[in-house]
Chain A
């Protein structure tokens, strides 16, 4: 079954979309979109390092994403993380990564596939790595759901209930790095944040509870993955951007339709 490139692409996209859209709810609730951007953009540097040292790309991306995410996490603790600093990090890391790719690997890689993803070319092994990563992210989210939620609501409220808000924030930081590592082959560094934010934002208007929002976001994420792959085959367009376009279309539908119906 995994011999079919379409099946592999579908599995990889669905696994990524599932983890990203559920984690994305926290990204939206805590307004971490820019944080996600900075981490994702920096992952290009991870690609460069992985290629230079002959490591797995997922490993390189995961490691760099982790370092960047932890750096931002620490800056945030000292209340120094303004929009401006995140902006510097996000774009600085991307530029540094692009330069590093050129310097370290010459012209022998197809940069575009790491910027925008290339899910039609994932291997069976890639699919395994993606599902292992996505499964781990979902498992941690399941396990930490309540503490994460109360820490998101108010850190002091969490402290008073015996939940360490700094630990929960660290958990989110690690999960974000994991999702970036998982998603880079599917949607690429530039569009990972889209996969985090758009399904969750679309789910907001349909949900009445945090869990409901996560489930609906997951549904939108999976549907986007399916529609995106189908669309990219039919229209002969790049798959990653087409998945994101499908997510945007579903977002628009989910935002506008309830308003029209409820009116």
Chain B
């Protein structure tokens, strides 16, 4: 069942066309990952889907009373704002004690409930944000580069947590990620974005697509793009990788 979809979206910001002809949909239980170079409109697309931006063309359709859990890319809490992890969970509506406790436990931040948000490490902060995002048992979880600034083990643990949440809640997950190796192993579908949708499909399909390899295969010597599919069959990209 499609929970959230965008049809033929175009977004203009400050006179620049950021997105055009973007159509996508998220169904329950699937993990969809957006990849694309910097400035390709990934965050803009997420912000359009949550209703923070109004598309100049096309429309966003949500299932009735859709509950969205959102983890923004960066949350700079001003040092002048005192806010404990537990109080953060009460925004914008007070959370029931048991539910807040369960969400914090699931995300491994229960012992930090009384800590100030500003004092948390990067990984703890992201977990606290995830705990807040899953409080209302979202049907769609939207995450914008949730592991930015985490080290590799931290990022791996965080993706495991998302996978766990997906299984427990049965929610659809839409996330932006730069970590292509994780994307390829953890996603059901990958959408490659560069102002428009270059290609999309299962990780296998996308990583073999010329458009994807053009975006990620050059400049990095192919190392990033080839991570997953260099061993799956007989592409002739080995010489490309060496270029």
Contacts and interface: CB of A to CB of B under 8 A. Distances in A.
Interface in A77-91: 78-79
Contacts of B83: 153, 209-210
A209 B91 contact: no
Interface in B67-102: 68-70, 72, 75, 77-78, 80-84, 87, 90-93
Contacts of A209: 82-84, 87
B91 A146 contact: yes
Interface in B46-75: 47, 50-52, 68-70, 72, 75
B142 interface: yes
Interface in A136-162: 146-147, 149-150, 152-162
A208 B233 CA distance: 58
B92 A159 contact: no
A223 interface: no
A210 B70 contact: no
A29 interface: yes
A157 B75 contact: yes
B38 interface: no
Contacts of B92: 146-147, 149-150, 158, 161-163
B121 interface: no
A147 B91 CA distance: 8
B81 A152 contact: yes
A157 B80 contact: no
Nearest to A31: B78
Given A79-B14, A160-B68, A155 B91 contact: no
Contacts of B91: 146, 149-150, 153, 157, 161
Contacts of B72: 154, 156-157
A154 B93 CA distance: 15
Contacts of B87: 209-210
B116 A208 contact: yes
A162 B93 CA distance: 11
B68 A207 contact: no
Nearest to A26: B81
Contacts, number: 73
Contact of A157 (B70, B78, B81): B70
Contacts of A122: none
Contacts of B82: 204, 207-210, 212-213
Nearest to B93: A146
Assign chain A's interface to a size class.
20 to 34
Question: Per DSSP, are chain B's interface residues mostly helix, strand or loop, or mixed?
Answer: loop
Identify which of A30, A155, A157, A163 gathers the most chain B CB atoms within 10 Å of its CB. Answer: A157
A201 interface: yes
A220 B83 CA distance: 20
Nearest to B133: A160
Contact of A159 (B50, B81, B93): B50
A28 interface: yes
Nearest to B94: A146
A157 B83 CA distance: 15
Contacts of B47: 156, 159
Interface in A28-60: 28-31
Interface in A142-200: 146-147, 149-150, 152-163, 165, 200
A201 B80 CA distance: 8
A208 B14 contact: no
A147 B92 CA distance: 6
Interface string A200-219: 11001001111011000000
Given A146-B92, A146-B93, A210-B87, A156 B70 contact: yes
A150 B117 CA distance: 14
18 contacts: A29-B78, A29-B80, A146-B92, A147-B92, A152-B81, A153-B83, A153-B91, A154-B72, A156-B70, A156-B72, A159-B50, A159-B51, A160-B52, A162-B92, A165-B52, A209-B82, A210-B83, A210-B87
Interface of A: 28-31, 78-79, 146-147, 149-150, 152-163, 165, 200-201, 204, 207-210, 212-213
Q: Which 10 A-B pairs have the closest CB atoms?
A: A160-B70, A159-B52, A160-B50, A150-B91, A150-B92, A146-B92, A29-B81, A156-B52, A207-B82, A28-B80
Given A156-B47, A207-B82, 8 more contacts: A29-B81, A153-B83, A154-B72, A157-B70, A157-B72, A159-B50, A162-B92, A212-B82
